[in-house]
Amino acid sequence: MSVVAKTLKYSEHGEPQDVLQLVEQQLEGPKDKQRTGFECKLYNRQRFAGKYPVKPKFPAVAGNEFVGEVVCVGEQVKCLKPGEHVVPLASGLGSWTTHALYNEDQLLGVSKRVGLAEAATITVNPCTAYRMLKDFVQLAPGDTVIQNGANSAVGQAVHQLCRSWNINSVGIVRNRPEIADLKKMLQCLGASAVLTEEEMRTSDIFKTGKFKRPKLALNCVGGKSATEVSRHLDNRGVMVTYGGMSREPVTVATGPLIFKDIAFRGFWMTRWSKENYNSTERTQMFKELCLLMEQQQFVAPAHEMVPLAQFKEAAAAALNFKGFTGKKFILDMSR
């Protein structure tokens, strides 16, 4: 393989549309017998503010998630073959490029029956939802999970997984003019009930026994929202915080903390992936997620495919998008 790869790089932190530059470089390989060369199909997501715990060395290739197609492999590559679709097992590889060379153990082959958008977005949000539902509380069919930010990409993944596992999923969202349409959309994904923050404060869905009190709460907002959600936890329930969109701390209500003995935990997918890189748990997670995607029981969040040449417009649109769910703008490297 000898190609001119088009790559999005940046050399400073800042707004994506300001710091990203499209450059070309010659790519030869794979000369290393254990490396794999592939052509990128679709790429998704990147952080540029410099506040995320993982910081790149400049100049850096942007991008974290992707799905690509193998075009050639080294002689000692055993598990991947040309024509196969792959997604990254390692984080921070730098994925916004038309072609790349990676070690075999940095990639995971996925069936072509998995949709491109689903494959391009599988390694962060669906995995985050999967691990939070699996690792903190032992849930059984009929149990209840409650979450704020229920219209986020992780929130949508939680609803779909709960539906597959026969778990009740109660979602909390901010009120908005399109609330009826948003509730309908989330319920189609698998949400058992969707309430606004105001409705949640006066709801009796747990007191009346319509749903069991939640054993698990998932928080990506923080502040008052997290406090209100935690009040509904069952005895010895657990709240897992994986984001802080309000930029306010998680404040614990004294009563539930003392009398219900509720617990508060944090979760970061990147850390879990590093600590469980070659684990059977990780293999099983990807196997189950891919199967659900093949069976169309798990779909990608709202998204738009954008040609590589329009990366500046896509970056600006992603930051300024207005709607009742965040739309993902996925770079199509073939256009």
Active site residues: 52
Angle, alpha carbons 331-25-38 (nearest 5°):
55
How far apart CA 186 and CA 164 sit, in angstroms, is 14
Q: Is the dihedral of CA 36, 331, 301, 251 positive or negative?
A: positive
- Tally the C-alpha atoms within 13 A of residue 218's C-alpha that lie toward its C-beta: 33
Instruction: Extract the tokens encoding 253.
Output: 């209500």
Helix (H, G, I), strand (E, B) or coil at 82: coil
Q: What is the CA angle 203-169-235, rounded to 5?
A: 70
CA dihedral 218, 223, 224, 228 (to 10 degrees): 20
In terms of DSSP bridges, do strands 60-61 and 99-103 run parallel, antiparallel, or are they unpaired?
Answer: unpaired
Euclidean distance between CA atoms 153 and 171, whole angstroms: 13
Could you tell me which residues are beta bridge partners of residue 240? Answer: 218, 265
Which residue(s) pair with 145 in the sheet? 169, 216
Q: Can you say how many angstroms the Cα of residue 67 is from the centroid of all Cα atoms in its chain? A: 14
CA atoms of 16 and 4, how far apart (whole Å): 23
Q: How many residues does the chain have?
A: 335
Q: How far apart are the first and last CA of the chain?
A: 20
